[in-house]
Structure 1
Amino acid sequence: MMYHFNLIKFFFPVDDHLFRIQKAEKIANIWKLSVLLVLVSAVIYGWMGSLGMGTDLISKGAVELSVFQYQQSKLWFVFGRIGFGIVMALFFLFVPALIFHLLTDIPYQKLVIMQQIVLLVMLIERVIWIPLFVNFGLDWYVSPLSFGIIVSYLTEAEWPVFFFGAVTLFQLWIIWFQIRYLSYLSTIKKSWIYINVISLHIFYWLIVAFLAYFDRFMIGGWFG
């Protein structure tokens, strides 16, 4: 049975597509969609960089730079964000799929499909954050869609704000979706799936908090 995967049609209805994926012997379009998602990720992150999202540390040193040096630093920053968008997309498409393949024995391509949906939702989340930043100056960790804004009222410590800022409504949906997807295609205990999916996301959030906490030092070193 050949399954022609379509990112948009997957949601209407989900159960029908999960059944088709479970029964599929071959899957079409998977690699073309992967390339498309990587390119879209690069464009979105490049757009974010061009809007100045995350360039506050560069702007602080603008008075010490010539116009050419400042524009050059911004250009390199945009290129860096494009590169980050590509690496991030490749990571989330293929690394978690490999981990879940080793844990569940679900065919790797079927898990890449799951991660394509995950990456699409993550990119939608990034796009929604853009007007929040442009219009209200909200950083990602104090977005109204995250728990970071609540934690920011409870503590001035940056690390817990970054950690809970990475926990968003979109991330909770992704956890629910991955558990549902893996439970449908795998015969292992659902409790084991819960533990592995949630543990992996906690690890992601820890890494995000760590990178955000030290980002100011890295950017300051590059562009200061």
Structure 2
Amino acid sequence: MNYDVNIFKLLFRMEDSIFRINETEKIQNLWKSSLYILLAAIAVYVWMAYLGIGSGLVSEGAIRLAPAQYTVHKFWFVIGRLLYAILFWGFTLFVPAVLFNMVTEIPFQKLVIIQQLVFAMLIVERLIWIPLAIYAGLDWYSSPMSFGIIAAYLTSRSWIIYFFGAISIFQIWIIFLQVRYIHGLCQMPKRGIWASVIFLHVFEWGFAALFSSMDSYMIGGWFG
């Protein structure tokens, strides 16, 4: 049996997809679909950079720059977001697939299929946040879909706010989907799968918080 990767079927026809992925002998269009979602991510992040989302520190630095210099820095800001989209794509698709392959022995390509669904959901989450950023002025960690707002009421420590801001309704949904798919593709006890998936996400949330904290220092240094 051949399996043709389809993100929509992965999301809306889960049981059928699990059966077909289990039984497949050849996966078709895996790398083509991976390229498509990479291009979608690049388009979204470049669009966000063009709209000025996340460029608050760049705008603050514009006061000390000539118009030509500011344009150059804005250009590099867009390039930086493009490179971030590529790194984000690579990390999301392949790092969890490698780790889950080591733990569960599910074939690597089948795990990449699962991560394609994860990445697509993360891009949708980012698209939903764009109007919140433009019209309500909300940062990603202040999204009503995340726990960042609650954390901001409890503490002023930015790292903690970023950490809980990275935990959203979409993230929780993704965890459930990953557990369901991995459990359907291997014989590993479900408790072990839950522990592995949650541990990976806690690491990702911590990394996102650390990167966000460093991001302000890096941009500040760039314009310093």
TM-score (norm 2): 0.98
- Equivalent in the alignment of 2:91: 91
Aligned to 1:16: 16
Residue 128, structure 1, aligned to residue 122, structure 2: no
Find the aligned partners of 1:12 and 1:155 in 2 and give their Cα distance.
39
For 1:103, the equivalent position in structure 2 comes to 103
Q: What is the correspondence of 1:1-12 to structure 2 with a 5 Å cutoff?
A: 1-12=1-12
Q: 1:62 deviation in Å?
A: 1.2
Shift of 1:179: 0.5
Give the deviation of 1:150 after TM superposition: 0.9
Deviation >3 Å, runs of 4+: none
Q: Which moved more, 1:60-69 or 1:126-135?
A: 60-69
**Partner Cα separation in structure 2 for residue 41 and residue 206 of structure 1:** 22
What residue number does 2:57 align with? Answer: 57
Correspondence 1:148-187 to 2 at 5 A: 148-187=148-187
**Is residue 28 from structure 1 mapped to residue 32 from structure 2 by the alignment?**
no
Instruction: Classify the secondary structure of the residue corresponding to 2:3.
Output: strand
Deviation, 1:106, is 0.5
Cα-to-partner distance string for 1:78-101 (whole Å, 9 max, x where unaligned): 011001101110111111101101
Q: Distance in 1 between matches of 2:52 and 2:202?
A: 29
Q: C-alpha displacement at 1:215, in angstroms?
A: 1.1
Residues of 1 paired with 2:19 and 2:223: CA distance?
A: 51
The separation in 1 between residues aligned to 2:183 and 2:156, in whole angstroms, is 40
**Distance between the aligned counterparts of 1:157 and 1:98, measured in 2?**
33
Given residue 115 of structure 1, which amino acid in structure 2 is its aligned partner? Q
- SS in structure 2 at match of 1:214: helix
How far off its partner does 1:13 sit? 1.7
Contact 2:11/2:117 (<8 A) preserved: no
1:72 positional shift? 1.1
Q: Using the TM superposition, give the Cα deviation of residue 128 of structure 1 relative to its aligned residue in structure 2, in angstroms.
A: 0.6
Judge which range, 49-58 or 162-171, deviates more. Answer: 49-58
**2:205 alignment counterpart:** 205
Letter of the aligned partner of 1:33 in structure 2?
S
| Residue 223, structure 1, aligned to residue 223, structure 2 | yes
Q: Secondary structure at the match of 2:53?
A: coil
Structure 2: state its 5+ residue gaps.
none
Q: Counterpart amino acid of 1:49? A: A
For 1:12 and 1:200, the matched residues in 2 are separated by 24
Distance in 1, Cα, partners of 2:148 & 2:87: 25
Structure 1: runs of 5 or more not aligned: none
- Could you tell me how far 1:8 is from its partner in structure 2? 1.8
Q: Is the contact made by 2:179 and 2:193 (CA closer than 8 Å) also made in structure 1?
A: yes
More displaced stretch, 123-132 vs 57-66: 57-66
Q: CA deviation at 1:104?
A: 0.4
- Give the superposition deviation at 1:10: 2.5
Partner amino acid, structure 1, of 2:208: V
Question: How many matched pairs?
Answer: 224
Name the residue aligned to 2:47: 47
Give deviations 1:129-152, integer Å, cap 9, x for gaps.
100000000000010000001111
Identity of aligned residues (%): 48
